[in-house]
Structure 1
Amino acid sequence: MKYPELSPSDDKLLVGWLDNKNDYQTGSTPIGLLDIIFDLCKTSRYEVFRSMTPCQICYSTMESIREATFSGCGIEKYAVHSKSGERILLGSSTIIFQFEDRKYVAPDLIWHYISEHNYLPPKEFINAVYEKKKSKWSKIKGLFIRT
């Protein structure tokens, strides 16, 4: 893991910053988590980048990362489809949301990490994601604020 889970960065807690050099928690995720994460990737994109960052677990060498980034190889791997057929491209932004007094920030590749690499986010993050879904939320400047 590039950064320890729930480590602070400014006023946010980091989740899901994986790489190919460090271990990360794996396991089964609760039913519906990927659907909620899909919605977060779609609606709370923040800090959108001009380029795409491929998964460093799939592309384990710097040469393969460079090749995938510049030649377009593997881009389709990050085109995520929802159950309804909706499509988003991952690897170019972060997602940020707030629940109660804590803000969480994750790469949008978190969907890919969970679905393809069996990544299990921290329980606190999973609980916040589910509570976010149950609560009424409003979007303010890319952040979801509980109302």
Structure 2
Amino acid sequence: MFYEDLSEYDYQDEDAFTDRESGFYALWYRPAYTRLNIGWLEAGKPYSTGSVPAAFVAKLKAVQDVQWMNVCLGLHECDLCPEEGAPEGNGEVRIPGEAGIAYAAPFLITHYITAHGYRPPQVFIDAVLAVDVDAWASTRWPDVPFPWVPDDAERMLE
């Protein structure tokens, strides 16, 4: 599934977070922020390449360890890899940017960066580096590791 970097995300109307410890509890809401696509790559479509700071990759991986966003039942296989052994993803990542902007990336983004040399836009790199991963990792349900969840988000508690 290809979307151009920094184009407006329109794949799903709502954002949904799943509790990473139970894998069952969830909350969802219609975001008030604008979501911009980052890293939705597809074979045959051009993408930016280049080096990225190691601290950025480490922090992005740490975010992915604590945030379960728009997790789907099906899996998406990396079509940039040879068919045999291609990694799969089934969710997304949300990174807050400047006020009113959140970046929406597929869970495979770290693979795209490390295996295929993808270089996301600098605004995304800066936004990831600004995330307080320790604060996000310490959140426990019903809180989620993302700062802009509205108070009226619908929660599935049982």
The normalised TM-score by structure 2 is: 0.66
Q: 1:30-58 CA distances to partner (integer Å, 9 max, x unpaired)?
A: 12111111112121221101121110111
Q: For 1:104-115, list aligned pairs within 5 A.
A: 104-115=103-114
1:130 paired with 2:129, answer yes
1:30 paired with 2:29, answer no
In 1, Cα distance between the equivalents of 2:92 and 2:46?
21
Matching residue's letter, 1:51: G
Q: CA deviation at 1:8?
A: 1.2
The more displaced of 136-145 and 100-109 is: 136-145
In 1, Cα distance between the equivalents of 2:68 and 2:111?
15
Q: 1:49-108 CA distances to partner (integer Å, 9 max, x unpaired)?
A: 11211101114xxxx5xxxxxxxx52xx53xxxxxxxxxxx5010011223411111001
Q: CA deviation at 1:126?
A: 0.3
**Greater helix proportion:** 1
In 1, Cα distance between the equivalents of 2:132 and 2:143?
19
Q: Give the aligned partner of residue 82 of structure 1.
A: none
In 2, Cα distance between the equivalents of 1:94 and 1:134?
17
The normalised TM-score by structure 1 is: 0.71
> 4+ runs of 1 displaced by more than 3 Å?
133-143
Identity of aligned residues (%): 32
